[in-house]
A and B are shown apart, each in its own frame.
Chain A
Amino acid sequence: MDRGEILVKIRDILGEILDISPDEIYPSSYMIRDLKVESIDLLEMAVALNSVFGIDVDEDMAFLKQLRLVVERAKEEERDRGVALREAFPHLGPERIEEILSEMEDGPVLKVGDVVAYVEWELEKS
């Protein structure tokens, strides 16, 4: 399954959970800031990802739940934040990691594209 097919399925899942049209959902959409996703919706999304893609969803990774903790810890340990993030979220590419680091002050960073990347990474792994 390629990234485009994964995106189509994820847009359908999100559309159903949020009761909005999948046409309103883009890879660049911020899940929390734009789509107003709440924790209860992420619970449903994890169940749906498991059901649709047959993967065991690691919610911390898929939804970048520990992202700020990883960055804080890197700071405390005087490590490179980008390296720490790449270790914690191996499905995210270097460009996306840089983007996340630059936009962390603006609010929650999770994008639809991050979840697509996570599913693709999980599928490749299996």
Chain B
Amino acid sequence: MLKGVVISSIGLLCPLGACVEEALLAIEGGRCAFETFSLNGEDVLISPVRGEIVNRTPPFKYRRYLSPWGMFVLYAATWALEHGGIDPGEYDHMGLFLGVGPNTEVLGGDGLSQALALLKVIPNTPTCIISELFGIHGENLTITNACTSSLQAVGEGFRRIRYGTLSLAMCGGGDSRLNPWGLELYNRAHVLFHPCDTPPLPSYAPFDVENQGFVPGEGAAILILEERERAYKRGDFIWGEVLGYGSTIAGKGPTAPLARGLIAALSCALEEAGLEGGEIDVVFAHGTGTPLNDMAEIEAISSVLSADVPICALKSWIGHLSAGCGGVELSLALGCVMQGWLPPIRNLKHPRDGTLHFVTKREEINLPANVLIQNMGFGGHNAALIIRVGELTS
């Protein structure tokens, strides 16, 4: 028998705050965290995490091997466990699914003097450290599928619980490429948003015809997924019930997104959720602001969902968190929807498609609501997750 799967705790660190509530307050207050970074004498916008993270995590000596985003993931994991209702005695059989990016800092040679600098390069070091610090020993994966990584990590945890191989899973991930080497890689690929492209004011706007590129950000999110009945019996706060997941790979070129790959992922997620496209109440799009991505998403949304479904794009607020974007956007989306509102796409003035319902001003949303999160990644990866907020299925 298939199990119901709920999200019972969320730890978040993003450019707008160090928990979901703090980040939502920033969005409600119209604040975003973009700042200018001089890259080889050229101005680009970045969206960094504020404040000192080191002192917000438990002391441990393997900190020396963690990338910046590894620290972010650890912070989010610590928060999620401390604020969740799971008895530490149960951590032993918890699963651990993390979506992460590369540590681009090593390209500059920083920290390579260590004997085990290798640990700064291999992507599963945060997975290992979280396992040791909290005593988590269940089934696990470290996923490195570019920008779909952390949403896929949640999807993988969901599937394990749904099919009964786990009852409890820590899922999510993080990323940061906000260093000269990571930013230079983006710049060479011509994917960065340049403020000077849209004078007089910088205005990054996913889905706008004038937008050419994204603002890179950083951060992490960790979500605790568990079997619905367990969380329900415990009486814990429940963020939402995961209903369906889909992931596909386009198999056509290492960079360009393909609408049919995303359409297939959306279809899988809908089928698993037992829903029709018209039953999705809001979609939180990948919405990078690169023309090819935005056009592929518009095609997929038009093909699968109803024409009037509200479309949000959280990258307009926090930037593009790469491998970490899915988990962070999922967390913020659940927070907004649970409070009954949808965040506007900042600065969107001239949508690429005039027939779709892009959210350009704060809107209300009624609960219960079926929320769709979708991400696309370099490599042709596509991921979609459907969550019901405000009501558990029977």
Residues of A within 8 A of B (CB): 16-20, 40-41, 43-44, 46-47, 51
Q: Decide if B113 is an interface residue (CB 8 Å cutoff).
A: yes
Chain A residue with Cβ nearest B54: A19
Cα distance A76–B129 when bound, in Å?
44
In the complex, residue of chain B having the shortest beta-carbon distance to the beta carbon of A40: B116
B115, A47: Cβ atoms closer than 8 Å = yes
Which interface residue of B63, B113, B115 has the most chain A CB atoms within 10 A? B115
Contact of A18 (CB < 8 Å), options: B61, B113, B114: B61
Name the one of A18, A19, A20, A43 contacting B115, with C-beta atoms under 8 angstroms: A43
The yes or no answer to B64 lying at the interface (CB within 8 A) is yes
Q: Which label, helix, strand, loop or mixed, suits the secondary structure of the B interface?
A: loop
Can you give 22 contacting A-B residue pairs, CB < 8 Å? A16-B64, A17-B61, A17-B64, A18-B61, A19-B59, A19-B60, A19-B61, A19-B64, A20-B61, A40-B115, A40-B116, A41-B61, A43-B115, A43-B116, A44-B114, A44-B115, A44-B116, A46-B115, A47-B113, A47-B114, A47-B115, A51-B113
Q: Which 8 A-B pairs have the closest CB atoms?
A: A43-B115, A19-B61, A47-B115, A18-B61, A44-B115, A19-B59, A19-B63, A44-B114
Distance between Cα atoms of A9 and B255 in the complex (Å):
49
Bound form: Cα–Cα A51–B114 in Å: 10
- Contact count band on B: under 10
Residues of A within 8 A of B113 (CB): 47, 51
Q: Which residues of B contact A51 (CB under 8 A)?
A: 113
Contacts of A47 in B (CB 8 A): 113-115
Q: Which of A17, A19, A20, A51 has the most CB of B within 10 A?
A: A19
Within the complex, the shortest CB–CB distance from B135 to chain A, in Å, comes to 17
Residue of B nearest to A35 (CB): B61
Q: Which residue of A lies closest to B58 (CB)?
A: A19
A122 CB, nearest partner CB in chain B, Å: 18
Alpha-carbon distance between A47 and B118 when the two chains are bound, in angstroms = 14
Q: Give the residue name and chain of the A residue nearest to B59 (CB).
A: A19
Mark out the residues of chain B between 358 and 378 whose CB falls within 8 Å of any chain A CB in the assembled complex.
Answer: none
Q: Give the distance to chain A from B68, nearest Cβ to Cβ, in Å.
A: 17
Minimum CB–CB distance for A73 against chain B, Å: 29
What sequence of 0s and 1s flags, for each residue 112-132 of chain B, a beta carbon within 8 Å of any chain A beta carbon?
Answer: 011110000000000000000
Residues of B within 8 A of A41 (CB): 61
Q: A44: which B residues are within 8 A, CB to CB?
A: 64, 114-116
Q: Which residues of B contact A20 (CB under 8 A)?
A: 59, 61
Chain B CB within 10 Å — which of A20, A44, A46, A51 has the most? A44
